[in-house]
Amino acid sequence: MAAMSQTSTRAAPWIAAQTKTLLAQRGHAWLLAGPSGLGQYELALALVRAWLCDHPSAEGACGHCGSCHAIEVRAHADLCVLMPETAMLALNWPLSEKAQDEIDSKKRKPSKEIRVEAMRDAVEFSQRTSARGRGKAVLVFPAERMNVYTANALLKTLEEPPGDVKFVLSSDAAHLLLPTIRSRCLGHTMTWPDPHSAMQWLQEQGVTAEQATVTLRASGGRPQDALEFAPVAGLWPQLPLAVKRGDVSVFKDWSAAQTLDALHKICHDALALKAGALPRFFEASDLPVGGSWQSLSDWAKALSAAKRTVEHPFNVGLMQEALVNQAQLALNSN
């Protein structure tokens, strides 16, 4: 399931509003926290654009100066981006020369964590003089991907930043960060957009109104996640009944994490219907009738256990077969 490319560069209205609010406040380190799909990365990037912009306004960066262009082409001398290498590649940020050589020569695969070597480079970057004279910025996303060694390497600099450097950390799981990291940042909880704004923004990205309705429901109202669901909007309503039949083919080209996420949502809504509540991710008419309290509860526990190891290098096809078989048994149990 591939993400749909964005066709509009205009900031989403809820991101623009939060950018203006945060720029009006003072602070050298921000922690943007909230569930996935609300635009943590986009808000963090909007902040560093404004901090480094040659002609900033209360609303943010001008979008036209040399600094804004340098960020757009991923070549700003006063911006350090810290991400897992997998995220860097996905978002078109350049890796360090050493890391790129190691990956190109097959010495190792791109890291899914923020490496301590990259953090040490960021600490050294923070101690240098600003190249453009507008200060420096460090963007960390997703911050929960720092392991304990990486986080500890950041602590001292985060508490007493040298010169005019600012930090913004974005996270989908801020509870996983060290308390000492959280305590050194000003916290901001991401704002949920209203449905109308989310629908309008999705349509600006090339998603049809019908697709947007399905994908916003599938994502629990999170527009960034809804955009990723757009390519499978037509398939989404069919998933519950297909899973009950044991049809693994509906998850062709899906990652293990995406498959597990969909099964979690089917399980959630099946339990909601069992309790007489409204489903959240599917229409009630899309959900199968069946499954006992015990079987559905056991399935939910099994899915939670599987989530802890979903990033292990399993054979995706075999894992999907096992997960769908587990779901089929749960949904057909009396």
Q: Is the distance from CB of 61 to CB of 76 less than 8 angstroms?
A: no
Parts of the chain with a pLDDT under 70: 1-10
pLDDT of residue 3: 43
Distance CA(108)–CA(101), nearest Å, equals: 10
What gap in Å lies between CA 168 and CA 318, rounded to an integer? 40
In this predicted structure, what is the pLDDT of residue 313?
78
The pLDDT of residue 1 is: 57
Residue 161: per-residue pLDDT: 83
165: helix, strand or coil: strand
3-class SS at 313?
A: coil
pLDDT in tens, 89-148: 999 999 989 999 999 999 999 999 999 999 999 999 998 999 988 899 999 999 999 989
Structural domain boundaries in the chain: 13-189, 235-331
Q: What is the pLDDT of residues 180-200, one digit of tens each?
A: 999 999 999 999 999 999 999
d(CA 166, CA 12): 24
CA–CA distance, 212 with 230 (Å, rounded to integer): 7
> Cα separations (Å) of 127 from 31, 70, 132, 164, 185?
21, 21, 15, 9, 19
Token pair of 17, please? 């509003």
Report if pTM > 0.85. yes
Reported as type and span, the H/E element at residue 288 is none
How confident is the model at residue 8, as a pLDDT?
41
Residue 307 to residue 259: CA distance in whole angstroms? 11
Residue located via tokens 């398939």? 235
Supply 13's token pair.
Answer: 């209205």
Q: Which fold has domain 13-189?
A: Rossmann fold (3.40.50)
Provide the token pair at 210: 């019908």
What angle, 0 to 180 degrees and rounded to 10, lies between the N-to-C axes of helices 13-23 and 195-204? 110
CA distance 35 to 172: 5
CB-CB contact of 189 with 34 (8 Å): yes
What are 114's strand-pairing partners?
146
Is 83 in contact with 114 (CB distance < 8 Å)? yes
Only one residue has tokens 């960060």, namely 177
